[in-house]
Amino acid sequence: MKQEQAKILLSIKPEYADLIFSGKKKYEFRRTIFKNKDVKTVVVYASSPVQKVIGEFQIDSILQTDLKNLWRQTKKFAGIKEDYFYEYFSNKSDGFAIKIAKTRRYRKTLCIKKDLKLFPPQSFLYLYSSNFQM
């Protein structure tokens, strides 16, 4: 039996989503990370005011380390300023950075509620190939 490939849906601020698809942001930072190690694709939901599913990217790898090392390893392609990085990770001793491999921006954006019958995730949401095709 063929195993379904899991994808995750991430809510990302539109300005950062645009930087991802332009190639300027090569890391997406997270305070917590999904447990399923088989996830290889992130579907991007551009949050308010866009509120659309706009594309996806392949995961190269996931870094987990203390904040000083995480910033040192990712700052060149972080897509955010150092003060925002530390503000985002406030009260955390370490963090996660999803290294972005190949990106694909959709020709037609999707309305998360109408087209996918989903609600925007606070953190992430698992999607499976049987219920999500693009």
How many helices (H) and strands (E) the chain has is answered by 3, 6
The chain-wide mean pLDDT, for the chain, equals: 92
Q: Is the pLDDT of residue 119 over 70?
A: yes
Q: Pairing state of beta strands 6-12 and 52-66?
A: unpaired
- 22-80 pLDDT tens trace: 999 999 999 999 999 889 999 999 999 999 999 999 999 999 999 999 999 999 999 99
In sequence order, what E strands does 17-89 have?
27-30, 41-46, 52-66
- 43-54 pLDDT tens trace: 999 999 999 999
Spell out the domains of the chain, with CATH numbers in brackets: 6-128 (2.30.130.30)
Structure tokens at 127: 């999607």
